[in-house]
Amino acid sequence: MSWKDHHLRSAIVQTVLDRAAADPADPELFADLPDLDRLFGGPEGLLTHLRYRWNNHLAAKTDQAMTEGKSVADVHLELCAEQPALRALLDAHLHTRDAASAMAR
């Protein structure tokens, strides 16, 4: 992946998160993103990327919390407060992942 593609991917992620902050269930959330298919393989690929991002941040915060004596529930709530648009987007599109998983079986 070139630096140009990396920056385009980052811009797509930020655009979608900005849109999700207004309405995470908006049917136009993934509209007018010309490089979405090429760089992510479509909306499902972007959602997979965003799930990975969430899980990665949660794992890092959980590791840190273990040394600080925080509960996993507290860490989860803290991350939800830090990244509300990402959490709302993933929650609004849970059905997308479930449908894709069911179709793969």
| Rounded mean pLDDT for each run of 10 residues along the chain, 105 residues in total | 94 98 95 96 95 96 90 94 97 70 42
Closest CA to 93 of 56, 42, 35: 42
pLDDT at residue number 97: 55
Whether the CB-CB separation of 96 and 43 falls below 8 Å is answered with yes
- 46, 41, 45, 38: which is closest to 14 by C-alpha? 46
Residue length of the chain: 105
Q: Give yes or no for a contact between 84 and 48, defined as CB atoms under 8 angstroms apart.
A: no
Specify the pLDDT at position 16: 98
Alpha carbon 8 to chain centroid, angstroms:
16
Number of domains in the chain: 1
CB 39 within 8 A of CB 33: no
Predicted local distance difference test score (pLDDT) of residue 8: 96
Domain that holds residue 72: 3-104
